[in-house]
Amino acid sequence: MLSINIKNCKPMKITTKSIFTTLIMVGFILFFTGCQNTNETPPFPVLESEYVQPGIKNLSIPKPDTINWVTENLPGLKSLPTTKFAYHKLPSKPFDIGSPYPLKNPATSKPIDWNSLPSSSFSLDSLPQTTLKVKVSVLGDPKIVKAGNLNNEPGATRGVMSIDAEFGLPSLSFSQLLDCNGMMWFGLSNGLVSYDSENLEIYGIDQGLEAKNVNWIFEDSKGRLWMVGNRGSISVVDKKSNLVYEMTSSFNPGQLFKIIEDKNGLFWLADNRKGIEIINFDEKIMYQIDSKSGLISNVAFEI
């Protein structure tokens, strides 16, 4: 007969650690047992946001067919009405184009022989000339301000814009120039302003530029900006060397309206009081052409 001495057995203490360890072991046993009982791979979950896989179908091109138009006579359908159009029946009234008068004699024409026209040789050395006085200054840093918005011009086509007092120019603009780098320049009554589609850079007395009433801005072959204006003002801004050239001469030019550069690097200025001035900038010489030198008049606005 089997007998057990209960007095000598110690009670087992159950802890949280032992319970957690037992549960982990049971979980591992169930996981491995379940994987060994199946040979199929579980399918990936299908979400509503996934794209449906494209199907494959054979491409078949239909055979060409002939369209047969069938014309039917419908006795109840009347033809569309037509109306003849006559210009002479439109309302009209006389159009007055002025007060025409008949010519006394028929107009005649004669061929022009350019070689038969009077001509004279032209030489710069034969023209009156004087020494060009040039004042050189360092171009100071411009005053930079935020530009205002451009305005759509009423009644104009798309892309035509205008500026007003809200744009930010310090004075009235007399001339404009788009240089080779796409920068917009405005000649003012008291200086020069550049515009880069966002800011305005203002050049004036504080920056060493004395240009006044700039009637014309010109960019020469070296990228320098020439400005001419009232009272014979001639200014040159060299952005590369950061210098300003102010020119005067004993000829005392009048109102200057335009300047161009010829193939020899000479600069021709249109003067509405004293004809045309020619500047040799490298040699600092100014020549003058007026009525005494062969011009019909001393008034020049264009070259």
pLDDT at 73: 78
The pLDDT profile of the chain, 303 residues, written as one tens digit per residue, is 444 454 454 555 556 666 667 777 766 676 666 555 556 665 655 655 566 677 788 888 888 888 888 887 777 777 778 888 888 888 888 877 777 788 888 888 989 888 888 877 778 888 999 999 999 999 999 999 999 988 887 877 777 888 888 899 998 888 999 999 999 999 998 889 999 989 999 999 899 898 878 999 999 999 999 999 887 889 999 999 999 999 989 888 888 889 999 999 999 999 988 899 999 999 999 999 988 888 888 888 888
pLDDT at 1: 44
pLDDT at 79: 79
Which of 268, 233, 240, 238 lies closest to 254 in space, CA to CA? 233
pLDDT at 14: 56
Alpha helices in the chain (DSSP H): 16-36
Token digits of residue 89:
């029946």
pLDDT at 40: 62
238, 220 contact by CB (below 8 A):
no
CA distance 195 to 106: 57
**What are the residues facing 275 on neighbouring strands?**
271
Token digits of residue 261:
């550069």
Read off the pLDDT of residues 137-159 as tens digits, 9 standing for 90 and up: 999 999 999 999 888 878 777 77
pLDDT at 2: 42
pLDDT at 76: 78
The full set of domains in the chain, from first to last, is 124-293 (2.130.10.10)
Q: Label each residue of the chain as H, E or C.
A: CCCCCHHHCCCCCCCHHHHHHHHHHHHHHHHHHHHHCCCCCCCCCCCCCCCCCCCCCCCCCCCCCCCCCCCCCCCCCCCCCCCCCCHHHCCCCCCCCCCCCCCCCCCCCCCCCHHHCCCCCCCHHHCCEEECEEEEEECCCCEEEECCCCEECCCCCCCCEECCHHHCCCCCEEEEEECCCCCEEEEECCEEEEECCCEEEEECHHHCCCCCCEEEEEECCCCCEEEEEHHHCEEEEECCCCEEEEEECCCCCCCEEEEEECCCCCEEEEECCCEEEEEECCCCEEEEECHHHCCCCCCCCCC
Instruction: State percent of the chain over pLDDT 70.
Output: 84
pLDDT at 162: 86
CA distance 212 to 203: 11
127, 287 contact by CB (below 8 A):
yes
**What are the residues facing 276 on neighbouring strands?**
270, 289
Token digits of residue 37:
């009982």
CA distance 153 to 164: 11
